[in-house]
Structures are given as C-alpha cells and as structure tokens.
A and B are shown apart, each in its own frame.
Chain A
C-alpha cells in the first residue's frame, strides 16, 4: 500500500464527513428530530 498523500487524506476526510452527515440526515428523518 502506497503512502497516503495530503490529497488522499483530504478525500478520506471529506468522505467520512459526508457519510457522517448522511447518517445524521437519515436519523433526523426517522426519529423526526428537527
């Protein structure tokens, strides 16, 4: 596995952040939280 570059870290961070927000959106939908 090659070493991660800053670009990779950025992409990974954005990806995980997006997934976090998606999960939060779903939780908001189903739990009816504002």
Chain B
C-alpha cells in the first residue's frame, strides 16, 4: 500500500491527538447526583439509590421523598435534570445536573424560570408546556430536552414510589418540511452537478436561496461544527426527532465521495448563500496571492483542530461552534459573534464567499474526505492520485470552468 501524502499524515497525527483528548474526556467522573438531591431536600441525612431512583431520608430515618434523574437528548449532548418529589407527591424541586447546550441558547430557554414554575405541582398534574421552554423559536431542541428529562424523571418516580404509570408522549418519526427540503436540495445539486452553463448556475442559485430561507431563516439548522463534534464524541441525536442532521451529514459525505465536491456547500448551505447574495451586491472579486490563501487555510485547520480538541477534552460539543450562524438565522449571539458576522458579510462584498473559502470547518472536513478518497484510490491502482494543493482548491476551479460560479 502506498504511503499516504504528507497532508493526510498530518490528519492522522491530529486524529490520534483527538482520540486521546476524547478518551481523557470520557474517563472523567460521572455527574454528581447527590449534591443536587441534598439541595432539593434540605436536612436530608441519607440517600439510597434503589430501583432507578434516589430514596431520601431525613432525621430519625424518616422518608422525605424521592428523586429521579433521567437523561434526554439536547442540542449539544445529553441533558440530565434531577427531580425531587416529596412524600405528598409534590415536586420539591428540580436541578440541572448536566447540560451541554450553547450558552446563548441555554439562556434563551430560561430553564430556572421553568423549573420554578413546575415546583410545587403534584407529580400527576404538572403543566409541562410552560412557555419559557416550549415556545422559544430557534432553541426548540434545548427546550424539548428539558421537558423530556423532567417528564421521564417524574414518570420514573411515579412508577417506583407511587405505583402510578404516567404515560410518556409518543415520539413519532418526524419527516417534515425541513427533511423534504434537504432531500430536494441534494437532488437539485446532483442534477446541477451533471449540467453545465447557465442552467447549472440557475439551479445553484435556486438551491442556495431555498437553503437560505428554509435551512437558514426558517429552521436555523445548517450543519455546524457542534453537530459534527457531537457525532464524533459518540453522541448521536435521536433519528426520530433529529433526522435532518443525518440527512445533511449523509449527503455531505456521500456527495464528497462520489462527486469530488460536497453538494451541501454548493447547493444547500444557507450561510454560503447569504455571502453570495451580499457578494452579488458588492460585485468585487479580489484575488488573493497564493501564499495568503495557504496561510489562511492552514490557520483554519489549526482552529478546527483546537476547537475539536477542547470540545473532546471537556465533552461539550456545543462549545466547538465558532460559526456566526445563529446570529444571522436566529438573531441570537454574543457581541463577538455579531462582530464576526459583520466582518464576514462585509468581507463578502470584496472577496468571494470568504467564510466558505477560509474559515468554514466544513471545508477542512471536505478536504480530509477528498484526500482520503484520493489516497485510497491511488493505493488501489498502484499510483497515488495527485493531491490537490490547498491553494488550488479554494476557488473551486472546477466550478468556474463549468460556469457554476455566477
């Protein structure tokens, strides 16, 4: 088998370090459940874990109540809340034990307000649909996860302590407008990729504008580094409710492998579309010297590696996201994220899709896939395929030849 090219060796080296970081992250201790249970039941003397719930005893061994802690799927990873129920059947308190959401979105769902609102309710008559978590546009996954964790924790306590079966709402397979749009966009991409000239150009614009509206402003669900990191850390979202990300990543991977260029970036990505729209207004097309291009691409790969490394060590995939997508599509972001969005969109006036070319982590992943494929093919045929230099890859030269860019 042929020796892999230098860039692939660097990827391999980076992967080894990342696996190490992930292993370290995983060996760190499990979340502490005792402290939050003690907070919910002040004066508790003894806590025993039996049949899936915590039994809480006070002075003289008197039973004070029970606590359940069931996990749910959040946006950035598993979310765990502990719910205490006293012997009268009232919710004594709820605490967040673990959440891995993006800080901005976590603030949006106003969890403390929700947890206060359900405290004091009887376990079988809790109003879960409290508006602070369920009606937050753009943070529905986080809100739903809070509700689901509380609901299943309460259900567990009800079953074990009160012998009451509380029905959990069924989770049907959700295939809706978003999922359909993703499939259509990849189909448009596959057709467009086979065509040349103005038709391809129009198809690409059409795809991207639909992507901008649906994947961007409507659903705020572009591929992000956080979602990829979640997959890499072994945290897989529930496909019944999170099918979209499977379709997006599957499409990204398959089209990269089969077409040599991922069609997500070309035909579906809402942020790429936003930059192209701004670029069309600006009309400038600065060409950068190759060494500047190489420098920026190298810097991007280092940034992606650092973000992954930190996310793996802390096991917090949501924190890896440095993209300003949420600022644009959900109108939520920190001052820095707004500033980043501002620079990138201003830069789009002068340089063609600067985020895609120089800063987007997807480009790094795409290059890894393409390099691996080329090496694999080369070693099977006996000759290593020419590894495209990073500096030649960035402008998407193939597309320009085919007339796909504008």
Q: Which residues of A sit under 8 angstroms from B168, Cβ to Cβ?
A: none
Asked if residues B286 and A7 are in contact (CB atoms below 8 Å), the reply is yes
Q: Which residues of A sit under 8 angstroms from B286, Cβ to Cβ?
A: 7-8, 10-11
CA–CA, A15 and B347, complex, Å: 9
CA–CA, A8 and B314, complex, Å: 39
Asked if residues B291 and A25 are in contact (CB atoms below 8 Å), the reply is no
**Given A11-B286, A12-B292; A25-B334 close (CB under 8 Å):** yes
B306, closest chain A residue (CB) = A26
Using a CB-CB cutoff of 8 Å, which residues 1-34 of chain A contact chain B? 1-2, 4, 7-8, 10-12, 14-15, 17-19, 21-26, 28-30, 32, 34
- Assess whether B319 is interfacial by the CB under 8 Å rule: yes
CA–CA, A33 and B343, complex, Å: 21
Asked if residues B340 and A21 are in contact (CB atoms below 8 Å), the reply is yes
- Assess whether B64 is interfacial by the CB under 8 Å rule: no
- Assess whether B337 is interfacial by the CB under 8 Å rule: yes
Q: What bracket does the count of chain B residues touching chain A fall in?
A: 20 to 34
Interface segment, one of B159-167, B350-358, B367-375, B397-405:
B350-358
B104, closest chain A residue (CB) = A29
Q: Which residues of A sit under 8 angstroms from B320, Cβ to Cβ?
A: 26, 29
- Assess whether B195 is interfacial by the CB under 8 Å rule: no
- Assess whether B299 is interfacial by the CB under 8 Å rule: yes
> Interface residues of A: mostly helix, strand, loop or mixed?
helix
**Given A11-B350, A17-B343, A18-B343; A25-B288 close (CB under 8 Å):** no
> Interface residues of B: mostly helix, strand, loop or mixed?
helix
Q: Which residues of A sit under 8 angstroms from B153, Cβ to Cβ?
A: none
CA–CA, A22 and B314, complex, Å: 19
Tally of A-B Cβ pairs under 8 angstroms: 79
Nearest-neighbour CB distance to chain B for A7, whole angstroms, equals: 5
Nearest-neighbour CB distance to chain B for A19, whole angstroms, equals: 5
Q: Which residues of A sit under 8 angstroms from B170, Cβ to Cβ?
A: none
Residue of B296, B320, B336, B347 most packed against chain A (CB within 10 A):
B336
Which one of A12, A19, A21, A32 contacts B336 once the chains associate, using CB atoms below 8 Å? Answer: A21
Q: Which residues of A sit under 8 angstroms from B31, Cβ to Cβ?
A: none
Nearest-neighbour CB distance to chain B for A14, whole angstroms, equals: 5
Nearest-neighbour CB distance to chain B for A20, whole angstroms, equals: 10
CA–CA, A4 and B103, complex, Å: 41
Asked if residues B354 and A29 are in contact (CB atoms below 8 Å), the reply is no
Asked if residues A1 and B303 are in contact (CB atoms below 8 Å), the reply is no
Nearest-neighbour CB distance to chain A for B171, whole angstroms, equals: 30
CA–CA, A4 and B251, complex, Å: 40
- Assess whether B307 is interfacial by the CB under 8 Å rule: yes
Nearest-neighbour CB distance to chain B for A6, whole angstroms, equals: 10
Q: Which residues of B sit under 8 angstroms from A30, Cβ to Cβ?
A: 310, 314, 316, 319
Which one of B289, B340, B346 contacts A4 once the chains associate, using CB atoms below 8 Å? Answer: B289
CA–CA, A11 and B339, complex, Å: 17
Q: Which residues of A sit under 8 angstroms from B73, Cβ to Cβ?
A: none
Nearest-neighbour CB distance to chain B for A34, whole angstroms, equals: 7
**Given A15-B358, A29-B322, A34-B334; A22-B289 close (CB under 8 Å):** no
10 interchain residue pairs of minimum CB distance: A29-B319, A25-B322, A21-B340, A22-B322, A14-B347, A7-B286, A25-B336, A15-B296, A30-B310, A11-B288
Q: List 21 A-B contacts (CB under 8 A).
A: A1-B289, A1-B291, A7-B350, A8-B289, A8-B292, A14-B346, A14-B350, A14-B351, A18-B343, A18-B354, A18-B358, A19-B303, A21-B340, A22-B303, A22-B322, A25-B337, A26-B322, A28-B334, A28-B336, A29-B320, A30-B316
Residues on A facing B (Cβ under 8 Å): 1-2, 4, 7-8, 10-12, 14-15, 17-19, 21-26, 28-30, 32, 34
Residues on B facing A (Cβ under 8 Å): 102-103, 286, 288-289, 291-292, 295-296, 299, 303, 306-307, 310, 314, 316, 319-322, 334, 336-337, 339-340, 343-344, 346-347, 350-351, 354, 358-359
